[in-house]
Amino acid sequence: MRTRFAPSPTGPLHFGSVRTALFGWLAARHSGGSFVLRIEDTDQERYIPGSEALIVETLNWLGLEWDEGPEKDGPHDPYVQSLRIELYQEWADQLVQRGAAYWCTCAPARLAAMREEQRRHSQPTRYDRRCLGRQDEVAAERAQGQPAVLRLRMPDGTTEWDDVIRGRVVFDNKDIDDQVLLKSDGFPTYHLAVVVDDHVMDITHVIRSDEWIPSTPKHLAVYQALEWVPPYFAHVPAVLGPDGLKLSKRRGARNVLDYGELGYVPAAIVNAMALLGWSSGTEAEVFTLQELVERFTLDRIHAAPAVFDPRRLDDLNGVHIRRMDTEDLVHALEFHLPGTSLETRRRLVPMLRERMVTLADAKHLAAPLLDGVAPDQADFPPKGVEPAVARAMLDACIDAVAAGMLEHEDDLLERLRETAKQHAAKVGAAFRVLYVAVLGEPSGVPVIQAMAFLGSDRALERLRAARARLG
């Protein structure tokens, strides 16, 4: 199987488009095939400088390496469409010679008036083929320098194909416009370039968004005219936001790389994307990239739109953080804990790992340990804890830490639990006293580990300050 991801360099990649890339990548890897990255930049008006670099960076960050494409030599170089213009023009000439395409010199004003008239009569807006019957005149006009576009001549009848995801799809060709294949500047439109490239690059399975279903008859017409065997088509469902509307760049969908800055890890992003429209056939939802490769098949993709749930991503992110190799996590936290040393982060990771939903949570969780400033103990004792219980917990903790028990955390934990029970207090509520005293909040990293990180002197300073407030 040879699949491809062919993004347009019109800005950073968002969740929906990368989900399509992931499905193509997984399908290729599962079959032992190849994955091609191709940059489709023929729409120069929408081109945004630097977008190609963002595409490459995004896929590399997610671990979706390609076999052929930019930065990877391959038999079909170059993999950027604007560098392949002559190839498209050659095949466009073939379409003209075979009677499958024709030149059109209609001015934009005429086309606008034509469409307005069609709308006024509630007719489909499509080209009226005025130039099809006057090709000699069109040739003379082109010779005189008049701008012209090349249009596909849609054949009569119907177009049908078996979509891998949606089954049999049928279109009546009379409802399909004669699509422009070459623009007046000589650049191909998507509809010509995509067919030529998919054929020349031996793509076996075209996996793309379902928004391209109405265009597929046009593409199949080009395949038919050039006597090429078309690939299999798999049109994946749209990704909707929590509001039920399509997730897209135009509606403010977040750049995938932004998720990295917000503390999401690649494994969780990939995991969440895979579950948007695909089912493993089991109750399991947490997968590594390799596990997805082993399980993924196109026939398990659903046709119905998939809803992106940020809460599900949060849950998966927390799971994957807890599964990370310790050293990988230490290095990953450098961005979120700037100025900390490797050794400091190694000491923090055991406390942070279980409590982070995103890596960005490390900043807040670690702040009471790194700032060097005693936390705010304004609300003390914490709500729901009797002063007598607070005094007992602090006295017991101060005595134990002063006696060197931070070196025996389990023993210290047991002593404090016994103190809470002796005063008929709930253990969780009683421990909130220590959390507020040491960390300034009723929850956070494990308080005994936090005191060990601070060291006996700093821990005692905070405990005694809290005790002094109680009198």
Contact between 5 and 273 (Cβ < 8 Å): no
pLDDT confidence bin for 241, thresholds 50/70/90: confident
Supply the mean pLDDT for the chain.
94
pLDDT in tens, 14-57: 888 999 999 999 999 999 999 999 999 988 778 889 999 999 99
Q: Please say if the pLDDT value at position 245 is more than 90.
A: no
Q: Please say if the pLDDT value at position 128 is more than 70.
A: yes
pLDDT of residue 210: 95
| d(C-alpha 69, C-alpha 197), whole Å | 12
Residue 170's DSSP bridge partners are: 160
| d(C-alpha 281, C-alpha 291), whole Å | 13
CATH superfamily of 84-236: HUPs (3.40.50.620)
| d(C-alpha 238, C-alpha 233), whole Å | 15
Domains 1-68+237-323 and 84-236 share a fold: yes
pLDDT in tens, 100-126: 999 999 999 999 999 999 999 999 899
Percent of residues, the chain, with pLDDT higher than 90: 88
Contact between 454 and 438 (Cβ < 8 Å): yes
Tokens of 433: 């006293």
pLDDT of residue 253: 63
Class of domain 374-470: mainly alpha
**Overall average pLDDT of the 126-144 stretch:** 96
Task: Looking at 64-185, list the stretches that DSSP marks H as alpha helix, in order from N- to C-terminal side.
Answer: 85-97, 108-120, 135-143
pLDDT confidence bin for 382, thresholds 50/70/90: confident
Q: What value, to the nearest 5°, has the Cα angle with vertex 128 and ends 123 and 131?
A: 170
From the list 174, 249, 383, 421, the catalytic residue is 249
Number of continuous H segments (helices) and E segments (strands) in the chain: 19, 11
**Overall average pLDDT of the 396-420 stretch:** 95
Q: What are phi and psi of 69, to 5 degrees?
A: 145, -170
What lies within 8 Å, CB to CB, of 22 at 6+ separation is 62, 64, 270, 273, 274
pLDDT of residue 380: 85
Percent of residues, the chain, with pLDDT higher than 70: 97
| d(C-alpha 346, C-alpha 6), whole Å | 41
Strand ranges (E), 148-257: 149-152, 158-163, 167-172, 180-182, 205-209, 232-236, 239-240
Burial class (CB in 10 A: 0-12, 13-18, 19+), 250: exposed
pLDDT confidence bin for 73, thresholds 50/70/90: confident
**Overall average pLDDT of the 206-225 stretch:** 97
pLDDT in tens, 438-451: 999 999 999 999 99
pLDDT of residue 244: 83
Task: Looking at 98-130, list the stretches that DSSP marks H as alpha helix, in order from N- to C-terminal side.
Answer: 108-120
Residues in the chain: 471
Q: Please say if the pLDDT value at position 251 is more than 90.
A: no
Report the candidate in 112, 90, 15, 28 with the shortest Cα–Cα distance to residue 58.
15
Task: Looking at 202-302, list the stretches that DSSP marks H as alpha helix, in order from N- to C-terminal side.
Answer: 216-225, 256-261, 266-274, 289-295
Say whether the peptide bond before residue 78 is cis (omega within 30 degrees of 0). yes
pLDDT in tens, 157-204: 999 999 999 999 999 999 999 999 999 999 999 999 999 999 999 999
**Overall average pLDDT of the 395-414 stretch:** 95
pLDDT of residue 411: 95
pLDDT in tens, 310-363: 999 999 999 999 999 999 999 999 999 999 999 999 999 999 999 999 999 999
pLDDT of residue 146: 96
pLDDT confidence bin for 374, thresholds 50/70/90: low
Class of domain 1-68+237-323: alpha beta
Half-sphere exposure of 423 (CA within 13 A, CB side): 23
383 included as an active-site residue: no
Contact between 283 and 306 (Cβ < 8 Å): no
Break the chain into its structural domains and give their ranges: 1-68+237-323, 84-236, 326-367, 374-470
